[in-house]
Amino acid sequence: MWKACYLLDMGQEQAMMQEMEALLDRERLLKYQGMKEGRAKALCLGAGVLLRLAWAESQGGLFHDGNQNGVFPNESQSGREAPAILTPSEVIRRLGELPKCPEPRYRHGEKGKPYFEDSPLSFSLSHSGDLVLCAIADHEIGADLQRVTEVRWQQLAERYYSPQEQDYLGIFTEKKAGCFRPSEENARLEFFSLWCRKEAYGKMTGEGVAPYLGRPILEEEAGISIWEGLLDLREETYCYCITEQDARKLFVENLQG
């Protein structure tokens, strides 16, 4: 069992857009061309090219070491360090160095989740801010990025998080004598971490985030991440990937019923 994660910064090298467009597969190109000009279109381009790189490296059996992208070949390696953040020119160069292979074709599951048509591989895409994430594995996988922003996180947590998660954030701990209350800033960051986990789990199952609102996804109870953490970038961003086999433990312990 293996899985790999790639990160791309689309805030750099805007002049490379035309070269990147030429690398898209047919389906991703049609999606890209059908979008209005703007930030969302640029991120769609980045996701398509990053997916093409992940596909080409998987087909050629060629994977760079962890200094380039995160590759986790077995369950015992949790991969707590995020992969390096690539630039567009680095992605273009790496694709140019790989042997030619047939471009990927896609199908969609009952709930709309995309899959490779003639491959057992699973992939998941996400973007936040200028960053794009692609995770690929030989089993079901879901991945999400969440940029930390200024939101009314307390109110959102009260509405969408389980009582266990709200206690974890320290929202209600003032009512319980002797409980540790984290600082408001730490609680705010953990709010985004938990939301990121829910999004990644929903992408893994293909159901989206809605079924997991109000239901706990706490890492210390489940141990489900490939890697997670705040990226040291211009803006703080949480990253989370969940695999089918690890998430199965989570479903039995926390989400069943």
pTM of the model: 0.81
pLDDT digits (tens, 9 = 90+) for 88-100: 999 999 999 988 8
Domain map of the chain by residue range?
Answer: 1-139, 143-257
Cα–Cα distance for residue pair 114/27, rounded to 1 Å: 11
The sign one gets for the Cα dihedral 64, 67, 70, 76 is positive
Confidence of residue 73 (pLDDT cuts 50, 70, 90): very low
Q: What is the pLDDT of residue 256?
A: 35
Cα–Cα distance for residue pair 115/108, rounded to 1 Å: 6
Mean pLDDT over each residue of the chain, to the nearest integer: 76
| Phi and psi torsions of 71, nearest 5° | -120, 125
In contact, 102 and 30? CB cutoff 8 Å: no
Q: What is the pLDDT of residue 88?
A: 94
Q: Is pLDDT larger for residue 233 or for residue 135?
A: 135
Please, what is the Cα angle at 193 between 187 and 195, to 5 degrees? 105
In contact, 58 and 121? CB cutoff 8 Å: yes
Give me 105's structure tokens. Answer: 């074709």
pLDDT digits (tens, 9 = 90+) for 183-230: 677 788 788 888 888 888 889 888 888 888 888 876 544 434 434 444
Average pLDDT of the segment spanning 153-165 = 89
Q: Is pLDDT larger for residue 237 or for residue 211?
A: 211
State the DSSP code for 55: H
> Is CATH 3.30.930.10 correct for 1-139?
no
Q: What is the pLDDT of residue 248?
A: 42
Q: What SS3 string covers 34-54? A: CCCCCHHHHHHHHHHHHHHHH
